[in-house]
Structure 1
Amino acid sequence: VKRWRQEHRLGSDGFMELAWHPGEAQVDFGVAQAVIGGDRVGVHCLVVSFPFSNMRYVVALPGENAACVCYGLRLVFEHIGVVPMMLVFDNATGAGHRVAWDKVTIVKLFALFLAHYRLETRFCNPYSGNEKGSVENAVGFLRRNIMVPILNAESYGQLTRFLLERCDALANNGHYRKGTSIASLFEREKEDMQPLPRIGFDAVDWQERRADRDGRVKVDGNYYLAGPSWRGWSLEVGLRAFDVELRTQDGRVCAKLPRVYGSSPVTIRDPAVLLPALGRKTNGWPESTIRDDFPAKLRLAVDHMDAGDRRHAFRLIARASDSSGFDAAVRAGEHLIEQGRALDEASMMMLARRIKAGEPVDDVKAPDLRVYDAFMQRKEV
């Protein structure tokens, strides 16, 4: 069979060298191992290559859906300060679905992204990696030169910032053929690209879901908690690359939760959404699902409170959570308890903001704001 194929091989078999113009970019995904927040995960690396200059950029993402594609491309565009004229994609990614050999249907979210940045796009033929050889090589190059040894980062955002900086540093190398640095060629290439729009594209896919009797909505096989107040409501679910936003039809935000990829054995929730319910039904505290989310000393203090004090504590923590997040709010509450102080709104709000800003408050005495009350009292002269 091999000999027959060699004898009957057509003269047109083989690959043609392709010419790429300034402002044209190729896009593809690769997977590499990294440690994110202490867990070793497979990071989906969105690689953008500019064949004319051989400039390459990579963004770390948790998946390859349309929201991740749009979010990653926006980061690259804002990093370089311009927008390319043309994007060349793989056979089929989260941006589109191949419905026939020569036809790809672009998903709605990515179509909106293309309109926002005034982009043209083209999808390669199936099994035709040579049509985007620049980005195919860039995926392997960046994985070997940046992702080894295994990187350790607190978040995907921190990892992405490091990767983009390393890509800029690698651009000081010379072009393999043109006899000058990649960085100088890319600066020349950017002159043929489009300016950034004033407002970046919010890559969010809105879908309608109905909350069950527990106030949960099901998305991609996982349950996200909107809160008991919204049970039975028809809610809008906004899917982004890293979070899921739940809101009512009139725009009221119920919760904003981290997006989970894969199957989660538990409901994804923000403990703060249950605080209003506990403020109304304080007897539910001992069996509450968020009791273990409280720091030990604050949890013990709440256990020994009567109904009125619990109601007051939950409402204070809820207000601090709205401005600074649940973790900062309960840490502020625990700090006040450790200092032998009762929970008051002014101290809770101020401490929670300081904790959110990253200030170390563990060894700092909680402020006594009663001096301001004395200062405001009228004194007789």
Structure 2
Amino acid sequence: MTRIYDRLIAEHGMQGVSYSVVRRYVADRKPKIRVEAGRGPVNVFFPQTHRPGEEAEVDFGEVTINLRGEPVTCMLFALRLSFSGKAVHRIFASGGTEAFLEGHVHAFSTLGGVPAGKIRYDNLRAAVAQVLGFSRQRVETIRWTAFRSHFSVDAFYCQPGLQGAHEKGGVEGQIGWFRRNHLVPIPSLNYP
């Protein structure tokens, strides 16, 4: 960018042009030049389609409550249906195996059944004992395997790290929405 700016001044005498104007013009024009030369990016778009009751997403998110005047961090379990966006939430003291399984049972009973297709998951310790390389193959925990078999849950595990961050964005946004709309201001509980 600096070379282009310097050449405009040296070769074309454009003293009145600022560097930021040149930078904006080049940023706008560069992709168009690449397309005209046949080297531009190919715009490929695959729209997501979901059938009713077919797919869902599950995740945990941190929430804060005041318990007897002290702030306590708890875990919010969320199961969100992909087609309708309907979600079921439950707050637990931790995000352990018991909370993970109980959250599913609560969601299935609230929704009136189990999603017929895949349910998308992170690589939660409650479900995944080991991630095998960068594939989608996982070694599941014994309790999760038994639970999945009982309820006929078809698990789909997202890629670890940033590669899989977009694969279950609906439930990620749902947790933030729930936190902002139901837990602000921070609720106070005064149990003995």
Distance in 2, Cα, partners of 1:110 & 1:12: 40
Tell me the distance in 2 between the aligned counterparts of 1:109 and 1:118: 14
1:123 aligns with 2:157: yes
Runs of 4+ in 1 over 3 A off after TM superposition: 6-10, 36-39
Matched, 1:17 2:47: yes
Change (3 A) 1:107 1:148: same
* 1:230-379 superposed matches below 5 A: none
Specify the alignment match of 2:14 in structure 1: none
Write the mapping of 1:162-177 to structure 2, written as runs, cut at 5 A: none
Greater relative CO (CA pairs within 8 A, separation 6+): 2
Aligned length: 151
- The structural deviation recorded for 1:18 is 1.4
> What's 2:132 paired with?
99
Give ranges in structure 2 of 5+ residues lacking alignment: 1-26
Question: Partner of 2:10 in structure 1?
Answer: none
The answer to whether 1:108 aligns with 2:142 is yes
Assess if the C-alpha contact under 8 Å between 1:43 and 1:60 holds in 2: yes
Q: Secondary structure in 2 aligned to 1:41? A: strand
How far apart, CA to CA, are the structure 1 residues paired with 2:188 and 2:144?
31
Are residue 43 (structure 1) and residue 77 (structure 2) matched? no
C-alpha spacing 1:130/1:153, structure 2 compared with 1 (3 Å)? same
One-letter amino acid matched to 2:133:
A
Q: Does 1:66 align with 2:97?
A: yes
- Partners of 1:113 and 1:104 lie apart in 2 by 16
Which residue identity is paired with 1:20? H
**What is the distance in 1 between the residues matched to 2:133 and 2:68?**
41
Shift of 1:45: 0.8
The partner residue of 1:141 within 170, 174, 177 is 177
Q: Deviations over 1:91-133 (max 9, x none)?
A: x112114231112221111111111111111011232232212
Verify the 8 A CA contact 2:88 2:110 in the aligned structure 1. no
Q: 1:76 aligns with which of 89, 107, 110?
A: 107
Q: Deviations over 1:170-225 (max 9, x none)?
A: xxxxxxxxxxxxxxxxxxxxxxxxxxxxxxxxxxxxxxxxxxxxxxxxxxxxxxxx
Q: Please say if residues 26 and 49 of structure 1, whose CA atoms lie closer than 8 Å, have aligned partners that are also in contact.
A: yes
User: What amino acid is the match of 2:67?
Assistant: I
Over aligned residues, Cα RMSD in angstroms?
2.6
- The one-letter amino acid paired with 2:145 is A
One-letter code aligned to 1:61: F
Q: Within 1, Cα distance between the matches of 2:47 and 2:65?
A: 35
C-alpha deviation, 1:60, in angstroms: 0.7
Cα deviation for residue 9 of structure 1 reads 6.8
Whole-Å Cα distance in 2 between the matches of residues 70 and 37 of structure 1?
A: 28
- 5+ residue gaps in structure 1? 156-381
Q: Compared with structure 1, are the counterparts of its residues 108 and 11 closer, same or farther at alpha carbon in structure 2 (3 Å cutoff)?
A: same
CA contact (8 A) 2:131 2:139 kept: yes
**Does the aligned pair in 1 maintain the 2:120–2:157 contact within 8 Å?**
yes
1:362 corresponds to:
none
